[in-house]
Structure 1
Amino acid sequence: MMNIRIASRNSALALWQTYHIRDLLLARGHSVEIITMKTKGDVILDTPLAKIGGKGLFTKELENAMLEGRADIAVHSLKDVPTTFPDGLKLACVCSREDVSDAILSMKFKSFDELSANARVGTTSLRRRMQLLALRPDLDIISLRGNVNSRISKLKAGEFDAIVLAMAGINRLELFKEVEYISRLDTIAAMGQGALGIEAVDRGDILEAIEFLNDEKSAIETTIERAFVHKLNGGCQAPIGINAKLDGDKITIRAILGTPDGKDILKDEVVFNKSDYKVAGEILADKFINKGAKELLIKAEKIAAQI
């Protein structure tokens, strides 16, 4: 047994995730130390993520703590984790996945279909903006930064008619108690959405101690999703949705990408054999590239810079 030091952001959701992993490690007989910190993504709240470096801003300080020997692992929402890692660190485990859906939260409207004309909807995600505007071009999509609690407070204060969050976070923080109406959206999720990713120092004893946290089904699904985004050079904040679902020996993959205004979109759904999961993401990405995905993402980046 060993002492494992976990680097964590100090937001409510990040701490829930860290405590969850801490408890699993304690149950295995390990001792655990939690080191909390604020990341650049937590501090800069007045600028859209796409303009200041993307969601990697939520992991940089945690990675530095590991590289400097102050921590051994970090617990992330996998959808926020870039597809490449600094030398000396690796994605060691993907934990059992929660609900992958996006959800719309409102104090006034029961569902997305009931939103009034020109409703003010808060989201920081270009992927969500793209899909919502493709369905409802009239919506007023407003950038919404900050931790989950601050976003809920803004909704309750009437700054937004609705906001969009991941269902996984809603379930983990039991937000059904806080908001009048919560309903799932038929959007395609971000890569890794609903899964916790354990980033770790690439050291044998650490990797061996935490390997029990890895869930094969979740790892297979998210391997496909991350490979798809990596091949497209999309990054965590690009308007790309990708969801792989393993059922028996078949994997169904839904993917979408386009411009943040929802006017230009590429979308597809394919089925692969489980045995092909290591190449499925790249194969699907190549299919999108042949349809003009790279050019569309360049266009998307230019539009995002003007939002």
Structure 2
Amino acid sequence: MKAVRIATRQSPLALWQARHVASLLTAGNPGLEVSLVEMTTEGDRFLSAPLSAVGGKGLFVKEIEQALLDGRADVAVHSLKDMTSVFPDGLILAAVPTREDPRDAFCSPEGYTLARLPPGARVGTSSLRRSCILRAHRPDLEIVSLRGNVQTRLQKTRDLKLAGAMLAAAGLKRLGLEHHITEIVPVADSLPAVGQGVLAIQCRGEDAEVRALLAPLEDLTTRGAVRAERAFLAKLEGGCTVPMAGHATVVDGQVHLRGLVGRPDGTRVVRGEVRGPVPEAERLGEALAEELLSRGAGDILRDFARREDASRA
């Protein structure tokens, strides 16, 4: 194969991710020409409202996936946490490279850590998951919606004189913006989103030549964790409309998956965890989802569905 076209969003982080994958491909395939097909997605265009109010995480991937299906690109690179639990027919998750830091980071212009935030502090985030977790720990906090790319959210944090903002550590590290991080938040305190820190490399399932080209980029440990997390997500049918988190680690062939579902205001959070062998990753994800549903997550999801139906009536 002589040339590959990679579809990507135009944000600085998305371009970094696509160029990173391009460099991995060219390093392993001398003479291969790699070009980027830069695109603007619906999620990039609607920045004035919270993501949950304009359609959820699929807004960042639909146009890019369509470019694959139309043959305008051969490969797509996404942040896995932006992807829905089900892919369009004909597309596959061809490879997941080694995961970057999956944790959340707190960035405070004033140097605050979460534990030292003053009463009633204003904290920015674009994530219902982070809002739920923050409010569960600190009901006094005022949550301010922040949309836009990583640099934009950092600038808005300063412009709005917020005490700080919660972002993904992976994005900050990939962009060389670690110096903005006041605190890396432990997983036990802020459970990451499904797929956080993972690059998703997508292609057409029928394209054997591209699949072979991408195969060396696969990290089996990351894949084991992702299989459990996405099975958990699929069972809950989760997007960005209800706060939920799912994070797995793989050590010595064993998966440890933790998950939660909560109300946006943090007044109720249902948590759980499971362990088991990597070959059973999907079953473990489904089992944890079923457990949470039986312990109250089902009520949270049904309450949200009723509110959505009422708002459309």
Q: TM-score range by the shorter chain?
A: over 0.9
TM-score, normalization by structure 1: 0.94
DSSP-derived class of the 1:97 partner: coil
Structure 2 match to 1:31:
33
1:265-280 matched pairs, under 5 angstroms: 265-280=269-284
C-alpha distance 110-298 of structure 1, shift in aligned 2 (>3 A): same
Structure 2 match to 1:157:
159
Amino acid at match of 1:181: T
Separation in structure 2 between the aligned mates of residue 24 and residue 5 of structure 1, nearest angstrom: 14
Deviations, residues 200-236 of structure 1 (Å, cap 9, x unaligned): 1221111111111111000110110010010011124
Separation in structure 2 between the aligned mates of residue 135 and residue 300 of structure 1, nearest angstrom: 22
Deviation at 1:276, TM superposition (A): 1.8
Asked if structure 2 preserves the Cα contact closer than 8 Å seen for 1:259 and 1:303, the reply is no
Separation in structure 1 between the aligned mates of residue 15 and residue 48 of structure 2, nearest angstrom: 23
Is 1:80 the equivalent of 2:82?
Answer: yes
Is 1:110 the equivalent of 2:100?
Answer: no
Structure 1 match to 2:11:
11
Amino acid at match of 1:91: L
Asked if structure 1 preserves the Cα contact closer than 8 Å seen for 2:96 and 2:219, the reply is yes
Which residue, 15, 38, 43 being the options, matches 1:41? Answer: 43
Structure 1 match to 2:122:
120
Deviations, residues 77-127 of structure 1 (Å, cap 9, x unaligned): 111111111112111111110111011100113310111111111111111
Asked if structure 1 preserves the Cα contact closer than 8 Å seen for 2:273 and 2:288, the reply is no
C-alpha distance 13-62 of structure 1, shift in aligned 2 (>3 A): same
Aligned-pair identity in percent equals: 41
Which residue, 53, 56, 78 being the options, matches 1:54? Answer: 56
Shifted more, 273-282 versus 139-148: the winner is 273-282
Separation in structure 2 between the aligned mates of residue 284 and residue 154 of structure 1, nearest angstrom: 37
Deviation at 1:181, TM superposition (A): 2.6
Structure 1 match to 2:245:
241
1:66-215 matched pairs, under 5 angstroms: 66-177=68-179, 179=180, 181-185=182-186, 186-202=189-205, 203-215=207-219
Asked if structure 1 preserves the Cα contact closer than 8 Å seen for 2:105 and 2:182, the reply is no
DSSP-derived class of the 1:292 partner: helix
Is 1:288 the equivalent of 2:292?
Answer: yes
Asked if structure 2 preserves the Cα contact closer than 8 Å seen for 1:108 and 1:181, the reply is no
Deviation at 1:24, TM superposition (A): 0.5
Deviations, residues 174-203 of structure 1 (Å, cap 9, x unaligned): 1123x3734325210000111101111221
Runs in 1 of length 4+ with deviation above 4 angstroms?
Answer: 300-306
Deviation at 1:299, TM superposition (A): 2.4
Is 1:263 the equivalent of 2:264?
Answer: no
Separation in structure 2 between the aligned mates of residue 250 and residue 23 of structure 1, nearest angstrom: 32
Aligned alpha-carbon RMSD (Å): 1.8
C-alpha distance 265-301 of structure 1, shift in aligned 2 (>3 A): farther
Deviations, residues 129-158 of structure 1 (Å, cap 9, x unaligned): 111100000000111101111111112224
Deviation at 1:268, TM superposition (A): 1.2
Q: How many residues align?
A: 305
Asked if structure 2 preserves the Cα contact closer than 8 Å seen for 1:8 and 1:75, the reply is yes
Asked if structure 2 preserves the Cα contact closer than 8 Å seen for 1:176 and 1:182, the reply is no
Separation in structure 1 between the aligned mates of residue 105 and residue 302 of structure 2, nearest angstrom: 28
Q: Which runs of 5+ in 2 are unaligned?
A: none
Separation in structure 1 between the aligned mates of residue 161 and residue 45 of structure 2, nearest angstrom: 21
Asked if structure 2 preserves the Cα contact closer than 8 Å seen for 1:124 and 1:145, the reply is yes
DSSP-derived class of the 1:242 partner: strand
